[in-house]
Chains A and B, each alone.
Chain A
Amino acid sequence: MPRFVLWIWKVCAIHFAIGMAAYLHFLITGSYRYVTWYFLILGTLFFLLTTAAEFCLALECRAGFEADEPMRMAWSFIALSSLARFVAAAMVSLDHWRGTSLPADIPSVLAVVFPRGLAQAGEVVGGPLSMIFLVVALSRVLQVQHRFGVLRGLTRTDFLLIGLIGAFTVGEIANIVGYLGPSYPTPSLTKAILWLSDPLLAVLLVQAVMIRRSVIRVGLGLVSQCWEMYVIAIVTTLAGDASIWALGVGLLSQPLIVLTWYIWFFAAAAYASAPAYQLAAMTLPHIPERAMRRR
């Protein structure tokens, strides 16, 4: 396993272990105290760290390709997507601290500096905007894979999955159109943009199905593991999204609701690991034979 990937998952494992300790405390005592601290401080730090790492690694990958190479554009958009998620994590956390008052009911300095609605803007930047960047990047990757015959061999199950996702997207779009009717109030711009999250996630899922097939075709290697990580990240994001939906319709008990919040850490770690694999593949030929044997 490449060094950076190992680091990312080690940090994720330690972070998760601390989170589980906080969760156990919550289960035993019923108090949200430590769980809240964990998600607000360590959780935010983890998101900032992983998205920053992903951004830097994606920039390094981009630099490995020359201007006329097709994968350069893909890595430019992946870098933009990770930057959007980093900015979103920063905005959401700043909004939280903006709302926190000092003991004597004196408003926080951040409340004066930062405008209201920072969290909603963060949701837009980290949600639909970062997804659009990722869709563009993965489209380019699929285009290159198709050109080299890597993308052949989609099975019936793949087509069935793509069909199901397509049907789900059409249903979602029909729902959105329904909400635009005269019986509903006009949605705010932020809300309208956030509605795009599910259709965009569906597009990402279709891309993930296709990329997964290409990964199966070429077998495990550093580059294929990079794309496999994106598949894992997208599927984990879907799981997180599904848990939000389940929460909305009241399907989850309180302990389960808290447990679903941990899903997002795995998605963030998978997103950060992907460029780390690509960078490992690109730097491997530069590593001396002796050092490679030692690994």
Chain B
Amino acid sequence: MGKQYETVIGLEVHVELATRTKIFCSCSTEFGKAPNTHTCPVCTGMPGALPVLNKQVVEYAMAIGLATNCEITKVCKFDRKNYFYPDNPQNYQISQLYLPIARNGYVEIETGGTKKKVRIHEMHMEEDAGKLIHDEWDDTSLVDYNRSGVPLVEIVSEPDMRSADEVIAYLEKLRMIIQYLGASDCKLQEGSMRADVNLSVREAGTEEFGTRTEMKNLNSFKAIARAIEGERERQIELLEEGKAVVQETRRWDDNKESSYAMRSKEDAQDYRYFPEPDLVPIVISGEWIEQIRARQPELQTEKMERYKKEFDIPEYDAKIITSSKHMADIFEAASAVCGKPKKVSNWLMVETLRLLKDRGMEPEEISFSPENLAKLVNLTESRAINSSVAKEVFEKIFAQDIDPEIYVEEHGLKTVNDEGALEEVIRKVIADNPKAVKDYHSGKEKALGALVGQTMKAMKGKADPGLVNQKLREMI
């Protein structure tokens, strides 16, 4: 066994903000429309066009800054980052270098029962670039500027993370905060949240940082975890062989589970940053900050505490439900409709989590309406359907968001509460099963179970098992 190494990781996280319009013009930010349909002179870099800042971008950035314990910069400015690339219509990106909107924050993460603070160095606002489409067949490239000018924040952490688990915990925490704020949907696969990993290794116990590399193109938590492991191994191997780690930007190929160098520090571009003369400084008053603070929605920790107190939900359940803003929203809405929060919680904790796991889905992908879940709770609680029917109906709700009342009606799944009909069936069951009746009378309690089963079968599952049990005992 050779030397022990420690991994040191810092993250640059880009988050696309959920504004209706772009950062510097009034074009829609809507995703997936025909190329170059959400464009104007500003976001296509036409000569003479000028940017005008979208106030909502500043307010979302302030909200994220406050929720991550940052100091808000009272006078912040935009700068131009100059580089030539066709997805960038002006050949400069409007970003923030010298006076970013927020600095010196932190978030608390938990891994393996240990809590830890990950510090945030700074957060800045900037515009996204367009999208290049390469036509290999024709050997040409086309550009779509629909995404050009979509607002982003970049959150730069300090190198405070030491493992892939901590990185994932940090990203999940950021994602949860930002989703709770409604500032972004933070979908890694769709690119509305993107993370670049800065990683170095050093011998355990040393103070000095090793040479770091920056890893790009990480589209999922799994890819991030694999890339961290791969890069850690690669750097340790180099050091063990007595070679130096080169400071460079690398691109992760998740299919090959390996990375390759994109550019080294020597090729690093000089972005010639300078203050954006087309925009005026943003002056953020204490009053404005307080307005945003007052408007901050309830975040996860507060929500969890409230669930425990207000709804008497166990801590574990409250934590799971609130870990996704979407699930928490469903919980609250459904509880409000049916007035039975504990029952709603049970459906989310048991059946919903099971189905999510079976289908490899994230809680954000839950697509049923809280109203339909509430109706299902009411149907079960009023004993209109029994529990096995309820499970079957819930699967339909989960998959297709069906209305359970209509579904139960149409499929004749309602429990038959007509006692006369039930008694008639029981009489027939007793008459048809003399042996079981005899066994029961001779003290074999088990025999009753068989009779209940026969009755349920005859009722096509639509009877309340408790009631069947009771009636049988009376009538036998």
Are these two chains actual partners, yes or no?
no
Q: What is B's interface to A at a CB cutoff of 8 Å?
A: none
